[in-house]
A and B are shown apart, each in its own frame.
Chain A
Amino acid sequence: MTAVTTPPKKQAQRGRPGQSSPKLAYLPILFLAFAIGIPLVIIVIYSFLEKPSQGTGVKWVFTLENYKALFIQEKLDGTTAIDTRYIKVLWASFYYSVITTVVTLALSIPTAMWIATRDARKRNLLVALVTLPFWISILIRTYGMRQIIADEGPIGKFLAIFDVSFSILYTPTATILGLIYVFLPFMILPIYASAERFDFRLAEAAYDLGAKRMTVVRRVILPSIRPGIISGIALVFIPALGSFLQSDMLGGGKTNMVANVIANNFGQARNWPFGSALAVLLIVLTLLFVLIMQGVAQRRGDKVELV
């Protein structure tokens, strides 16, 4: 959380770029405090309260039941047992997010490197193309995806010519495909930003000095774009963990991710406190992940700060 602190000489403060008054930052900080901080505090408070017997919201009575209910289930036959349902859902979310991150990473590194090695005019065009999906609502894009991978969609029809049956819509595969599709630009862009700054003459030099192709990639290129990779992983993995649109629309409602369960608790189940507890658990796990990422980055000596 270290801000950029350049101990300035007093007289040099005025008029220099990047050194204007910190007061300008107050407004956005205030906005973030309101838009993120307060809802977060509310969620944490709610997670320790009981639910009212009627309606939505909370009853102002302290309880730890919501957290207990995450792991221990009072079964219908009266016995209590370890509740694996939410752990399973969390595991599924984690698993889908890891696959999404790995696949987008594997696709993004070559793509970003390729874009970075084009000439300036082409580069701008290609970056614009990568951001093109943002012009369309994510909901519509996911609907589009659904049409394309439907059993009777273009892929299915094409494969039917060769008598190959195609049925992936409403399976976990479809959910993961949807996640990969949506998050790919978030991986390409930061990696590209790092790659663009990379001096490719260094790679040439390494090659000239006798390094093998893979050695150049491993020892010269990858370390240079590592900050971009780490940002990309954070930008993909964390939001993927909290996704629910893809599992809802492409997974056929069967491949529940944790956000689907949270949504149901704030909706039909009308159990805001439990939904809050689940949300807090997700936040804690996400934070844990970020801290680990940061630890890895710091050990490597990269200047990447995620928290």
Chain B
Amino acid sequence: MASNKRRRASYVAALAAASALLLSACGGETTADSGAGEATAAAGEFPTTGSGVVNVYNWTDYIDPEELKRFTAETGIEVILDTYDSNETLLAKLQSGATGYDVIVPSDYMVQQMIELDLLQNIGVSSFPNGGNIKDNLVDVYWDAGRNYTAPWNYGTTGIACNFAAEPGCANIKSWKDYFTAGLPKMDSLKDQVEVVSAALRATGVGPDDLCTTDKAKYVAAEELLAGFKPAVIESDGGIERVVAGTSNVRHAWNGSTHRMTVENPDVQFIYPSEGINLWADNLAVPVGAPNLDNAKIFINWMMDPKAAGAQSNFSGYDNGIKGSDAFMDEALKTDPAVVVPADKQALISPLPNCGEEARELYTQVFTTWTTSQ
């Protein structure tokens, strides 16, 4: 499950500038200024300005304060920001009856669950003035087909960060199986049961569409594979610092974190394991009972503008789901193959699964056995 760890990106903008010279191959067919500026084209009665406040409940360190100021200046709506550290915290808070939030930022699987639990409002995002800006491959997503409840926010992938200079063995890591069986010194793992167990399942031959299998035999195989995997550290936090300092050379890592490692040390590169990797995608949504519904809509629409989305990516270090935003993204960010998935790797990417109760229990089972046997 995407935890807060990947969100620490406050100084990424500064680093990105310094890294511009490190990244030569400038690819990224920038769609130029397709929807630059304030795309308030269509829309009959959709308001673009308002008054009062909008209460935003977001992940820690995941929104650019400068952009919030710009939002207030342009719309007259003041933003009150509160933060959380995991999807589960957010869910627990909403389920306990907390109201007062207008905009929340749940990840993919959590959106699906919240819709099932009637916690989100159908606000018809695709019919917003900026509704057409959603990247094509992010419109018909499993958690919100056609985009009625949610607008895309940042998204990323989870692969392997490897220091190719310090660890020659990096060259031999092409798959999850290679990673789990490499037996190299200075290896790190995430402390995230969905990421670790799904990677182990992939390594033992489970296909991307079958990651929520309830076939126990498949989990036995994953458990056996993990039994031989003894990383130096199992932690989601502080990975960037460790890899940059050389304490760790091989790490299960989020792509945005890897981008920041690469900025500081170009020998660190992101590996796309051949069995495929998880895509997670965060979304803007409005919870039931939001006190300022109109302001929430204005906020979400404003954030779907390419300029705002690009600035947000520069802040967080992750790509976003808005067409044309790359025109506003830093060069270092949009040319990093870790951040912007290269064409030949697109087929490897599939959304992080939202497994049912039974599968989730099996995940917990495997993960607990592994972490308690280290």
Chain A interfacial positions (CB closer than 8 Å to B)? 53-57, 76-78, 85-86, 88-89, 150-152, 170, 248-249, 252-256, 261, 264, 266-271
Contact = CB atoms under 8 A, between A and B. Distances in A.
B117 A55 contact: yes
Given A152-B245, A269-B360, 5 more contacts: A55-B113, A76-B219, A89-B372, A253-B191, A268-B194
Interface stretch (B84-92, B275-283, B345-353): B84-92
Interface string B292-324: 000000000000000000000000000000000
Contact of A56 (B1, B95, B234, B235): B95
A267 B367 CA distance: 13
A56 B356 CA distance: 13
B368 A85 contact: yes
B219 A254 contact: no
Interface in B333-374: 356-357, 360-362, 364-369, 371-374
Contacts of B235: 248-249, 252-253
Nearest to A147: B241
Given A152-B247, A252-B235, A268 B88 contact: yes
B357 A53 contact: yes
A71 B191 CA distance: 24
Contacts of B223: 76
Contacts of A248: 235
Given A54-B117, A55-B95, A254-B234, A77 B220 contact: yes
Interface of B: 1, 86, 88, 91-92, 95, 113, 116-117, 191-194, 216-217, 219-220, 223, 232-235, 237, 245-247, 356-357, 360-362, 364-369, 371-374
B312 to A, nearest CB: 26
Q: Is the interface of B mostly helix, strand, loop or mixed?
A: helix
21 contacts: A53-B356, A53-B357, A55-B95, A56-B95, A57-B92, A57-B95, A76-B216, A76-B220, A76-B366, A85-B372, A86-B372, A150-B247, A152-B245, A248-B235, A252-B234, A255-B374, A264-B193, A264-B368, A267-B88, A268-B88, A271-B364
Nearest to B119: A55
A143 to B, nearest CB: 9
Contact of A88 (B219, B246, B365, B372): B372
A270 B1 CA distance: 11
A interface: dominant SS: loop
B256 to A, nearest CB: 20
B287 to A, nearest CB: 14
Given A78-B216, A85-B369, A88-B372, A270 B360 contact: yes
Most chain B beta-carbon neighbours within 10 Å: one of A54, A254, A261, A269: A254
Contacts of A76: 216-217, 219-220, 223, 362, 365-366
Contact of A253 (B234, B246, B366): B234
Nearest to B188: A252
Nearest to B362: A76
A170 B232 contact: yes
A54 B357 CA distance: 7
B116 A54 contact: yes
Nearest to B96: A57
A146 to B, nearest CB: 8
A85 B223 CA distance: 14
Contacts of B361: 271
Nearest to B237: A249
Nearest to A88: B372
Contacts of B369: 85
Given A152-B245, A267-B86, A256 B92 contact: no
A261 B216 contact: no
A268 B216 contact: no
B62 to A, nearest CB: 18
A256 B370 CA distance: 11
A54 B117 CA distance: 8
A253 B373 CA distance: 12
Nearest to B1: A268
A8 B227 CA distance: 68
Contacts of B220: 76-77
Nearest to B92: A56
A270 B361 CA distance: 9
A261 B233 contact: no
Contact of B233 (A55, A88, A254, A256): A254
A86 B365 CA distance: 12
A77 B369 CA distance: 14
A268 B220 CA distance: 21
A260 B364 CA distance: 14
B369 to A, nearest CB: 6
Given A85-B368, A253-B235, A268 B95 contact: no
B367 to A, nearest CB: 8
B26 to A, nearest CB: 35
Nearest to B116: A54
Interface centre among A89, A152, A253 (most CB of B within 10 A): A253
Contacts of A256: 371-372, 374
Among B216, B361, B366, B368, the one with the most A-chain Cβ atoms within 10 Å of its Cβ is: B368
Shortest 3 CB-CB contacts between residues of A and residues of B: A253-B234, A254-B374, A252-B233
Contacts of A170: 232-233
Nearest to A53: B357
A88 B371 CA distance: 12
A173 to B, nearest CB: 14
Contact of A54 (B113, B233, B368): B113
A245 B1 CA distance: 20
Contacts of A249: 235, 237
A55 B369 CA distance: 23
Nearest to A274: B364
A68 to B, nearest CB: 15
A54 B91 CA distance: 11
B370 to A, nearest CB: 10
